[in-house]
Amino acid sequence: MAQTLTLLGIESSCDDTAAAVVRLAEGRGTVLASVVAGQTDLHAAFGGVVPELAARAHTEKLDLCVEQALAQAGLGLTDLDGVAVTAGPGLIGGVMAGVMCAKGLAAGAGLPLVGVNHLAGHALTPRLTDGLEFPYLMLLVSGGHCQFLLVRGAEAFTRLGGTIDDAPGEAFDKTAKLLALPQPGGPAVETEAALGDPRRFAFPRPLLDRPGCDMSFSGLKTALLRARDGVMADGALRRQDRADLCAGFQAAVSAVLAEKSRRALADYLALAPADPVFAVAGGVAANRAIRAALEDVAARAGARFVAPPLALCTDNAAMIAWAGIERFRLGHRDGMSLSARPRWPLDETAAPMLGAGKKGAKA
């Protein structure tokens, strides 16, 4: 029996405030409306966005976003089957504002409430955009995240590995900063890299010699600084040197992501999925060199490569509505006791390991 479900999604866990309406009909999801309260005009700060910390500001924007999303979808609250909201992880003020807003709407309209993990929203997006079947391999790679997830079900995620320090998006931003390129750093570094020689500077490939899928990008900053200072003359950096530095940096990030993807794919293929898929989501997947490297790794492993459109890879509420639909179908409902969780690892088993056996530091 085909089930039709229409959910409102609300997202305010980090820098953006968003609302969306998504419908499941005949097994496929459709985004009826997706509104993100713009931060696009605030490019000056680090990472391209200025964080919205004030819960009050989130609350004001949320009301407007919900109103707009419903108007764009041509629906009223009574046409909905439920309200989904990001309950974490994220900045506590924003998450609380979203949860309060969702509770108010759900209580007022007599609708079920579904709390969603923000990362589950990202991880389930390829099901909305490409109708993927479980299990698939997911690489979340953005400004704040970098992890490999085995997605076995709407509530079943296994973390195969991830960055132990900076995310690649952050490394791109900081590289741009160190080389006096504009923010956001991703596109600026990529443009320069296209003009450079990736072999001139030998940047490290951190953790490549270690087994597993963990990554490290923080040390690249130090390597880049040294290389930069080594070629600067009279406090000036020549154009070609800068391009070569960008090309070398991008090649290092690309090589690490490709090799770790190869290992994650091997783990995933051991599950013998019927239709193997490697899904990559996040702003970093928009980098053409990195994307080509990951496509190549997928092809060699015999897995289909899927990258949802960028608008659904950055923070948005359509992914929250969709993840809400997935949980709703599994019978999941949250009551008015739903609380905001600033920390909420997707894979609870991979989170803190108790009794790791390490001795305390020497005083």
Partner 1 sequence: MATCATLTLPLPDAQATARLGARLAPLLGRADVLLLEGAIGAGKTHFARALILARLAAVGRREDVPSPTFTLVQTYEAGDLEVWHADLYRLTRPDEIAELGLEEAFDSALCLVEWPDRMADLAPDTALRLSFRPDAGEGRVVTLTGPESRWAPVLARLANG
Which segments are annotated as binding site for substrate?
140-144, 173, 186, 190, 287
The dihedral of CA 24, 29, 30, 32: what is its sign? positive
Task: Return the range that interacts with partner 1 (CB under 8 A); candidates 17-25, 270-278, 333-341, 349-357.
Answer: 349-357
The answer to whether 92 contacts partner 1 (rule: CB under 8 A) is: yes
Q: How far is the CA of 297 from the CAs of 20, 149, 186, 230, 292, in angstroms?
A: 34, 17, 22, 34, 9
| Interface pick for partner 1 out of 64, 156, 292, 351 (rule CB under 8 A) | 351
* Residues 48/315, Cβ–Cβ less than 8 Å: no
| Distance between start and end Cα atoms, the chain | 65
Least distance from partner 1 to the Cβ atom of residue 137, Å: 20
**55 binding partner 1? (CB under 8 A):** yes
Per rule CB under 8 A, count of chain residues that contact partner 1: 49
Q: Is 93 in the site for partner 1 (CB under 8 A)?
A: yes
Indicate whether 342 belongs to the interface with partner 1 (CB under 8 A). yes
- Considering only CA atoms, give the Rg of the chain: 21
Nearest approach in angstroms of CB 313 to partner 1 is 15
Query: Of 7, 224, 243, 246, which lies in the binding site for partner 1, with binding defined by CB under 8 A?
Result: 224
Dihedral (CA of 121, 122, 124, 130) sign = positive
Reading phi first (left if > 0) and then psi (alpha if -120 to 50, else beta), residue 33 is in beta
Taking the least distance from each CB to partner 1, the nearer of 235 and 355 is: 355
Provide, rounded to whole angstroms, the least separation between the CB of residue 352 and partner 1. Answer: 5
For the segment 164-223, give every residue that binds partner 1 (CB under 8 A).
164-167, 169-170, 174, 177-178, 218-219, 221-222
Residues paired with 42 in a beta bridge: none
Please, what is the minimum distance in Å from the beta carbon of residue 216 to partner 1? 11
The residues in 112-171 that bind partner 1, with binding defined as CB under 8 A, are: 143-144, 162-167, 169-170
DSSP string, 154-202: TTEEEEEEEBSS--HHHHHHHHHHHTTPPSSHHHHHHHHHTTS-TTSS-
Annotated binding-site positions? 118, 122, 140-144, 173, 186, 190, 287, 315
Characterize the bridge pairing of strands 146-153 and 136-141.
antiparallel
Cβ closer to partner 1: 272 or 363?
363
Binding residues for Fe cation: 118, 122, 315
Of positions 4, 41, 302, 362, contacts partner 1 by CB under 8 A: 362
- The separation between CA 89 and the C-alpha centre of its own chain, rounded to angstroms, equals 12
- Return the number of the residue (191 or 222) whose C-beta is nearest partner 1: 222
Q: Cβ of residue 144: shortest distance to partner 1, in angstroms?
A: 3
Nearest 5°: phi and psi at 345?
Answer: -65, 140
Residue number with CB closer to partner 1 (170 or 190): 170
Instruction: Please say whether the beta carbons of 29 and 312 come within 8 A.
Output: no
* Ramachandran category for residue 361: left, alpha or beta (phi over 0 → left; psi -120 to 50 → alpha): beta
* Nearer Cβ to partner 1 (9/206): 206
What's the closest the beta carbon of residue 331 comes to partner 1, in angstroms? 32
187 CB contacts (<8 Å, ≥6 apart)?
A: none
**Which residues contact partner 1 (rule: CB under 8 A)?**
14, 45-47, 49-51, 53-55, 90-93, 143-144, 162-167, 169-170, 174, 177-178, 218-219, 221-222, 224-226, 342-343, 351-363
